[in-house]
Structures are given as C-alpha cells and as structure tokens.
Amino acid sequence: MNEDLRVLQRVVMPMSDDLDVLPLYVETELDRGAALAVLDTTEDEEERKQKTERAVVNAVAGQSQSMVRGLGSPSSMGDLANRRSALVTGGERVSFGTYFNAFPASYWSRWSVIDRVVLRLRISGECTVVVLRSNAKGHSHPVESVSVADEGDLAITLPLETFVDGGWYWFDIVAGPENVTLHSAEWVARTDCSMRRHSKPGRVSIGITTYNRPDFCVDGLGVLSTATEVLDLVDRVYVIDQGTDKVESHPDFPDATKGMGDKLTVISQGNLGGSGGFSRVMEETVRTGASDYALLLDDDVVTEPESILRALAFADLARKPTIVGGHMFSLYDRSVLHAFGETVAPYSWWWGPAPRTQHGHDFGRRSLRHTSWLHRRVDVDYNGWWMCLIPTRVIREVGLALPVFIKWDDAEYGIRAKAAGFPTVSMPGVAVWHVPWQDKNDALDWQAYHHLRNRLVAALLHSPYPRGGSITGESFE
C-alpha cells in the first residue's frame, strides 16, 4: 500500500514581538518538579532552582531584535530566518506543551481516520528530547526520552488509541552544556488514498465579511497576502464589503493585497449583516465549484496563518464532513481565550461555554500543562464565525445561513448541520485574535432586539421542547 506523510501541525513561534503571546507558543518557566525528571541530579538544589528560573528561549526565529534582546543575547541567532526555529540556552529546559504547539491527540483520535502520529524534529546540539502525554484529567507523564549527541533528525511514532475523552502530546527540550538549535518540529501522519476524501490536500475559498472597518480588514488581508503556504491552497479570497467606508479605498489596500494576485475578489452589497455576508461567501464558493471548503473570517480579527493549514488538514482527514472551528483570543489581552467550546442549552435555549470549561482563560497566568480542565476533550454544538471552516458538501446539503441579519446565525447553522449528521469541532491550536466581547454589550443597545428575535427563531426551529422551551416565558421576565 502506498503511503505518504501528511503534516498535521507544525511547531511555530510568534509572528510578532508581542511578549504577551509567547506563553501560547513556548513555556520557559517550568515547575521544578518537572525539571528534576531529566536534569542532572548531582546538582544541588540551588543550582537546579537557578536553572529553572533562567529557562528562556534565547532566540525566536522571525522576531525583532528588540524582542530577542528582551529574552536573551541575539549573538547566537545565526541564520534562523523563519518562525519554525528557536535557540535554547545551554543547561536549560523549555516546553512546547502550549496551546499552539502541543498536539491535541484526543481530537484527532475521536474525529479523524488516523490512529497514530509521528513527531519529527530536526535539532542541533547536545540535548534530551522528552515526549509527554496527558489524559482527560490533566495528569501527565513522559512516554519517550531521546538523547541527541550532536545533530539529529528524530521521528517518534506515538499511538492515538488510548485518548478516549481527552489528552495531549507535547515535547520538552533539555539542553546540554551548550546552546541547542531546534530547526523544525512537526506532527505528521502516515496516510494513503483510501484514508482521505482527497487524493491531495483540499482547496479552500476564504470569505471575509466587513462593514466600515477598512483598517482591520486591510491588516487581515496583509497577513493572508504574505502567507504563501496558505495561499497555495486557496482558490479565492472573497471580501464582502457591506459598508460605506470601502476597503478598496483604503490607501494601504494595494500593497496589502498584492501577494494575492487574481485570487482576490471584492464584492460590494447592501448591509445584510454577518449572515448575509457569509451567505454570499458560501453561495459564491459553491457556485464556482473549485473549492472543497469555505473559510469564514470576521473582519476584526488577527489570524494565525498556521491555524488555516491545521484546520484544512483536520477537515481532510476527518471521518465524515466536519465543520472545523477556530478559538477566539482577545485582541487586547492576547493570552486570554474567550471560550474553549460552546454549546446551546436545549431548554433555556441560551448559548455559553461548554460544560466543565471556563470562560476567559488566561494562558499567561496558567499554562496548558497546569490547567487540568483544558485536557478533557470538549464537544460543541457550533463555532462562532470569527473563524469557521465549512465543507462545501455541508453547504450543498444544509443550505446557506439563516437570513436573520446578525446574532445566532452561526449557532443556528451549527445546530442545523449537526442534525443533518455533520459535526462541528472547535479545534485547539486553531485560533484568531478578535475584538473582545466586553466592547460589545448587545443586551442593552440596538442589537438587543435582533438578539432576542433570532434566538426565538432558532429555538422554534430546533428546540426539542414545545414552543421552544422556557425562552418565551423568560422573555416576559
């Protein structure tokens, strides 16, 4: 049987010099107990304490010199010119058990066709690579420990069968006496054509709905325009401009979009809200017929381009056509996660964080490794359309968004798709930064009417209870 390797998730470093996002990519302040597992046990307690407290990544590829100096000396950076490399100080330990770089094994085990994953690393310098795993309760332990004497290409095969209801894989690097260079690391899977609906990676059309936010929108287009590996899989980028302050009139628009060439299409239409804008994206994508997926993005987000590649890989290898959603981090407090998964309570018909999860988790204060509830797999009813990848097959069978202007269009669509047999997965490691909800009090302003009306419509369409459950009675209160 012919097999090839499909990259599922690459280890990456931050796009910018914003230190607030560093805990999402790499953890350096490891607890002493974990460090003792592999550090030289002949050292006294004070030496071990100093090593743990000094643990830093000296150089993160692609960062500005100011950021690197803030972390350590840049003199050893060499030619690390991309986001995939890092320099680890001699004698230190760093962990990639973080939101963007740990591997969410339980999600791949539950929803995909693969049964094992391969961790590939290219590394230079004397070190020990420790691979760890967790379970649904957040308990973790090492499963592999590989010593590198000088330089090596490692390939460690890890099973996925034991991740029933939660758990992650990740790795730590413990440097020897000299600095260690991580050139690249990625989580890959051996696949064959019988395991995939596509003989090659699926194609995507990206759709952005915007209303009088040309600055945000142009910045977002600029990020996509330089993400060449993403654009290789993109058929079209649709901007549905429903405002009066046009995106194409922004002075930076030509430079921000020049990397897209003829893939960019700007469509002006009346203000039909997010539902109308995203329905236009769906309709254009299906009518054109070239793409396997439509990726919906808000206009006021900052995208992590790697997330798009991960969402596509997951959707390609899912057991059935699956909506793949991205998480939302705060654009103003960038280590804070809005919600890990969202559900709709069937009787009260109210959305909210999924059971046994917490709203507004700050990874800058508490890491993935030290937050037990983050290790349980979360199953959701829907994903917000700040970032949501929808297979075109789902669109053909389920239809377009509910014509409700704003509010509840994404929730209603996820529930409608679920009833038709198409699940939604809010995928860890797939995310954008979005203007936080604190700036949008839709319970008090003009949006309140649309909020309640659309909630009533969705409840009457999908609630398992007569008359939508308790929503009608609650509205009188």
**What backbone phi and psi angles, to 5 degrees, belong to 277?**
-65, -45
CB 133 within 8 A of CB 103: no
DSSP strands (E only) in 35-167: 57-60, 86-88, 93-95, 116-124, 127-134, 140-148, 151-159
> Tokens 């209870």, residue?
465
3-state class (DSSP) for residue 303? strand
CB 451 within 8 A of CB 404: no
- The number of residues making up the chain comes to 477
Question: What whole-number distance in Å separates Cα of residue 170 and Cα of residue 166?
Answer: 14
Q: How far is CA 5 from CA 114, 129, 190, 193, in A?
A: 12, 22, 5, 11
Q: Which of 410, 439, 442, 445 is catalytic?
A: 410
CB 249 within 8 A of CB 214: yes
Among residues 112, 115, 55, the alpha carbon closest in space to that of 87 is found at: 55
Question: What whole-number distance in Å separates Cα of residue 446 and Cα of residue 167?
Answer: 43
Question: What whole-number distance in Å separates Cα of residue 472 and Cα of residue 4?
Answer: 55
Q: Active site includes 410? A: yes
Q: What SS3 string covers 65-83?
A: HHHHHHHCCCCCCCCCCCC
CB 296 within 8 A of CB 388: yes
Residues serving a catalytic function are 410
